[in-house]
Amino acid sequence: MATQTTPEIVLFDLACTNNICFSPVVWCTRLMLNYKNISYRTIFVEFPDIEPTLRELGLAPNETGHKYTVPAIQHVPTNTYMMGSSPIAEFLESTYPDPAVPLASELGREIETRARTAIGPVITKSLMPREIRILSPRAQEYFRRTREAAIGRPLEDLLDSGQEQQRWDAATDEVRALGELLQKHKVEGPFVLGARPSYTDFFIAASLQCARTVDEGVFERVAKFPGYRDIYDACQPYMERKD
C-alpha cells in the first residue's frame, strides 16, 4: 500500500557523469512533473542499460527507431508503466490536470514543427560530438557505436569548425524568425501562449537546457536570438530540480 512518502511517479532518465537530467525529451517530462508538483523519484539509466531495463519491466518496444527509450515512467498508484514523452505528457495531463498544461495549440504546433525541421538537425550535429564527453566509458562506447553507424562517419568529423559555422549560418534566418514567433503573445506574458506555460514552452526550455548541460557555446548559439531566453528564464522555476 502506498504511504505518504511513496512517490507517485518513478522517472527513468538518461544517466550522464554530472548526475543530472540532460536529455531534451526527458526534460519535457520532468518539466511536467516539476510544474505540476507531482512527487517522483528518478532512476538514472546508462545508454546500454535502457533496453534491458525497460524490457524487464514488461514495456512493449517502440515500433520505430530505438526499441526502448527514455523517458519512461511508472505510475506507482496503478503500477502502470509507459514510455515516450508524448504519451507520458498526455497521461500526466489527464491524471494531474491542475495546474493545466495545454499540450497542443496551433501556434505551438507551428513552432515545434519549424524548430524540429530548421534547428533540430543543426543543434543535434553540434551536440552529438560533445554529448559523448559527459557519458561514462560504457555509455561512450555504446553511443559512439550507434551514432557513428547512424551518421556514417566519426563523431569528431562534426566538430570541423568551418562546417559547423556554415550550418549555423544557414539556419540563422529561421532561428531568428522562430524567436519572433515565440514572442507573439509577449504583451500577455513570457510564454508562447502568454501568461502560463504550455508544452511548447517546455519543449523549447528542455532543448535549451539540454544544450546548456552539454555545451554552453551551443546553448548561446540559440539563446542569443531574441525570444528564446525569455522562455528559458520563465521556465527556470520548473528546472531547479534536475535529478
Ligand X SMILES: N[C@@H](CCC(=O)N[C@@H](CS)C(=O)NCC(=O)O)C(=O)O
Q: How far is the CB of 8 from ligand X (least distance, A)?
A: 20
- Asked if 71 touches ligand X (CB under 6 A), the answer is yes
Query: Is residue 209 part of the contact set for ligand X (CB under 6 A)?
Result: no
With H, G, I as helix, E, B as strand and everything else as coil, classify residue 40. Answer: strand
What is the pattern of x (binds ligand X, CB under 6 A) and - over residues 3-32?
A: -----------x--------x-x-------
Nearest to 124 by CA among 18, 36, 25, 211: 211
Query: Cis link prior to 71 (omega < 30° from 0)?
Result: yes
> Can residue 108 be called a binding residue for ligand X (CB under 6 A)?
no
Q: What angle do CA 53, 58, 62 make, to 5 degrees?
A: 80
Figure out which of the listed residues 8, 32, 74, 84 binds ligand X, where binding follows CB under 6 A.
84
- Shortest distance, position 162 Cβ to ligand X, whole Å: 28
By the rule CB under 6 A, 202 interacts with ligand X: no
Q: Could you say which DSSP state residue 101 is in?
A: -
List 34, 42, 74, 85, residue binding ligand X (CB under 6 A): 85
Q: Binding residues for ligand X, per CB under 6 A?
A: 14, 23, 25, 47, 50, 66, 69-71, 84-86, 146
